[in-house]
Structure 1
């Protein structure tokens, strides 16, 4: 498919803000019709979200206060990528740090762009099963509750507005299709000390 008639070409770029891990940019672009416009966006290092499956069919979720929207959110465990970090390694680290769980098997489901109009953020989706519970290793200043729910409870929370987090809703779509057999996952055993997929 030829998308040349849709593409914008960057002609200038201005740094608006350099934060601890985010950058805000304002670029000037040439539109397909030759006119110019500006695009403001956030540069994000990327992240991983994990769908942890307990042996009894329940899911591991978190409840965490999210300051920008001023409320406690119910979400799947997730975290940002460190520079050069493999997404699977990030997922394994975040699952352990936030929930205390390690997983025997992992499956890469796909990726999503969270807010394509104003952010470069990409989130890699992983499923984890064969969970073993250990001690959480929360970062300093991180406060969250770990809960479990059945898939049906999660589906209901997405439907009634209890869960509005976009990554969790996207993972719920994946979960519904995996549980129904419509979509399949390739499961790989976790190699201690390694990050093989």
Structure 2
């Protein structure tokens, strides 16, 4: 029933602390008195850009993602460092991953990525007035990224065709759609 008291946290157990997230199991008592355990991935959040060239092309990346064991198409994104503004995070990530710099930014919104098991929030931005930098992208050692240019129509067709694309990119594309040429 809406408006009820939130569950009472009886115990928190940290099982893993990694460099990007932690994993915990919490014992809760629900308002109806029932008790149980809930697992949660704690994540500092991510920032994502929908970069658009002056010609109206989307700048995406295709990279291998270990969890799904394949290369997927997505917009440039990165983990927000503790205490960092998500706008700063994505300005850094877009240059490192794609070799482009944006001179115009618009916050599109934010959304909870997977509330069934994680508290991660994605901060989505539209990046326009792009400038291709002279230096190649400066990717992290553990990244294998290919930059891909597509029109909004081509990206939409890739989504509809079932090409491997992550949910944060599809959601952010939807938020950016009214601003695209």
**Cα deviations by residue, 1:113-137 (Å, 9 ceiling, x for unpaired):** 1110101111100001110111211
Task: Give the Cα separation in 2 of the matches to 1:7 and 1:163.
Answer: 37
> Displacement of 1:45 after TM fit?
1.1
> How far off its partner does 1:138 sit?
1.0
What's 1:67 paired with? 66
Is residue 163–residue 169 contact of structure 1 (8 Å, CA) maintained in 2?
A: no
Deviations 1:170-194 (A, max 9, x none): 01211323349xxxxxxxxxxxxxx
Q: Helix, strand or coil for the counterpart of 2:168?
A: helix
Change in 2 beyond 3 A, CA 1:13/1:62: same
TM-score using structure 2 length:
0.93
Q: For residue 167 of structure 2, what is the aligned residue in structure 1?
A: 166
Note the C-alpha offset of 1:5: 2.2
Return the offset for 1:149: 0.1
Q: Matches of 1:163 and 1:17 in 2, distance apart? A: 29
Q: TM-score, normalised by structure 1?
A: 0.86
Aligned-residue offset at 1:13: 0.3
Query: How far apart are residue 26 of structure 1 and its match?
Result: 0.4
Distance in 2 (alpha carbons) for counterparts of 1:178 and 1:55:
13
TM alignment of 1:102-141, pairs within 5 A: 102-134=101-133, 135=135, 136-141=137-142
| Counterpart-to-counterpart distance in 1, 2:60 and 2:164 | 11
Which ranges in structure 1 are unaligned for 5 or more consecutive residues? 181-197
Counterpart-to-counterpart distance in 1, 2:120 and 2:145: 23
Q: CA deviation at 1:11?
A: 1.7
- The 2-side partners of 1:109 and 1:123 are apart by 11
In 1, Cα distance between the equivalents of 2:39 and 2:61? 31
1:146-180 per-position Cα deviation (integer Å, ceiling 9, x unaligned): 01000000111111111431101101211323349
CA distance in 2, matches of 1:175, 1:80: 20
Q: Secondary structure at the match of 1:12?
A: strand
Query: What secondary structure sits across from 1:21 in the alignment?
Result: coil
Cross-structure match for 1:142:
143
Q: CA deviation at 1:97?
A: 0.6
Matched, 1:53 2:56: no
CA RMSD of aligned residues (A): 1.6
In structure 2, the partner of 1:195 is none
Which runs of at least 4 in structure 1 moved beyond 3 Å after TM superposition? 177-180
1:1-12 equivalences in 2 (<5 Å): 3-5=2-4, 7-12=6-11
